[in-house]
A and B are shown apart, each in its own frame.
Chain A
């Protein structure tokens, strides 16, 4: 007791350390699930963060439009070429319209449902994202009050983003697919029998391996979720293969993948419920 009285500052620091260590242990035991205090704190933090997040996005739009003005001419040219390509594709698509109508009739007869038709989709804004921690975790402004639950799949217009790892009333923490801990089973779009597993590579990309090393996967192949593992439904676009190599150490055929979703400036996502 005397030592405590004489070293009050050191005692306070040690007590704080002990309290934090206990917090980590409790959090570890509950797999990071927030308790009632954590959820309440999360609610308050997210109310404060929301306007700043919107303001940051608004400023980024305005400033980036100033800095990229020199690239606009080149982009304009690319867009014109793209319009020409799309016009020719549209012509072909019209020719195939009759075939499509026939296929739709067939799918109705077979009671086939599309990729997202069996899910209810909730759109959400990304309100907080910290790239200094090393984890690719971000917060969205939809939670259990909107029907979001743990392990709900998160996508954007381009493809797979990740899954919900914990939920508050009006917020959810999402772990993105580019985090190393978040493993995804994939299949190659060109040949759905070619399967593999992907995870984050630490540089904003994905890396993984093929389950069968004899398959002829190559650069440019599109990868989609395989549905194996039970979290991610089959058919969501993951990305494009940028490199294939043989790993002598493992020995496995490894693939490097560029994600379809643009994680650097992620603002709006959709949650599949």
Chain B
């Protein structure tokens, strides 16, 4: 995928997350669309879209909603780096590994995010933090699977064609 399209997707997700996703909140928790994109792009692509754009849009989210600037950027980058390592051991074409990635990425992101805030001295209790985690993680995993199903088409061509005789690189959507 061309870099400008990826930037556009992230920008659209950022705007949607801050303006319209609150209307689909469950138990006061809405999905973290930017995090889901970071996970999916880091899991599917070899290019460092997830890390770079995760850092940039994380900072923008913090400017809007964070107590301190940079915390989301760090947690998104951690999730992206972890996904980059995870895809070495899992088949990134399938939905199940994407679900595992979504689960791990979401838990890691939340742990790093709240860990930094706890170090910074924000007085949220552990009970308060843990209470919102299940909804947040389930919501993110569902969204990661949906985004993976959509975005993998651009990465893995002829995925179901077992008899595809074309170039492996072309089938993987890599530059020839």
Binding site for B on A (CB under 8 A): 9, 12-13, 16-17, 20-21, 23-24, 27-28, 32, 34, 38, 41-42, 45, 48-49, 52-53, 55-56, 59-60, 127-135, 137-139, 165, 173, 180-181, 200-204, 263-265
Contact = CB atoms under 8 A, between A and B. Distances in A.
Given A17-B77, A32-B68, A134 B114 contact: yes
B1 interface: no
Given A24-B120, A128-B18, A138 B65 contact: yes
A16 B122 CA distance: 24
B145 to A, nearest CB: 17
A69 to B, nearest CB: 18
Nearest to A39: B63
Nearest to A132: B32
**Overall SS of chain B's interface:** helix
B60 A41 contact: yes
B37 interface: no
Contacts of A53: 19-20
B73 A20 contact: yes
Contacts of A200: 128
Given A9-B48, A128-B19, A181-B123, A20 B30 contact: no
Interface in B155-172: none
Nearest to B55: A16
Given A130-B18, A200-B128, 12 more contacts: A16-B55, A23-B73, A32-B69, A52-B19, A53-B19, A129-B65, A133-B113, A134-B113, A138-B65, A181-B123, A202-B129, A203-B28
B81 A13 contact: yes
Contacts of A38: 63, 69
A27 B29 contact: no
B124 interface: yes
B67 interface: yes
Contact of B63 (A41, A55, A59): A41
Contacts of B35: 132
Contacts of B15: 48-49, 52
B141 interface: no
B29 A132 contact: yes
A181 B60 contact: no
Interface residues of B, number: 55
B131 interface: yes
A127 B131 CA distance: 27
B3 interface: no
A139 B64 contact: yes
A133 B66 contact: yes
Nearest to A12: B48
Nearest to B26: A131
Q: Kindly name the residue among B52, B60, B62 whose own CB sees the greatest number of chain A CB atoms within 10 A.
A: B62
B176 interface: no
**7 nearest A-B residue pairs (beta carbon):** A23-B70, A56-B20, A132-B32, A128-B18, A24-B70, A27-B68, A204-B28
Nearest to A48: B15
A51 B80 CA distance: 31
B120 A130 contact: no
Contacts of B73: 20, 23
A200 B123 CA distance: 12
A265 B25 CA distance: 10
Contacts of A28: 68, 120
Contacts of B25: 131, 264
Q: Kindly name the residue among A20, A21, A173 whose own CB sees the greatest number of chain B CB atoms within 10 A.
A: A20
A172 to B, nearest CB: 11
B127 interface: yes
B51 interface: yes
B51 A13 contact: yes
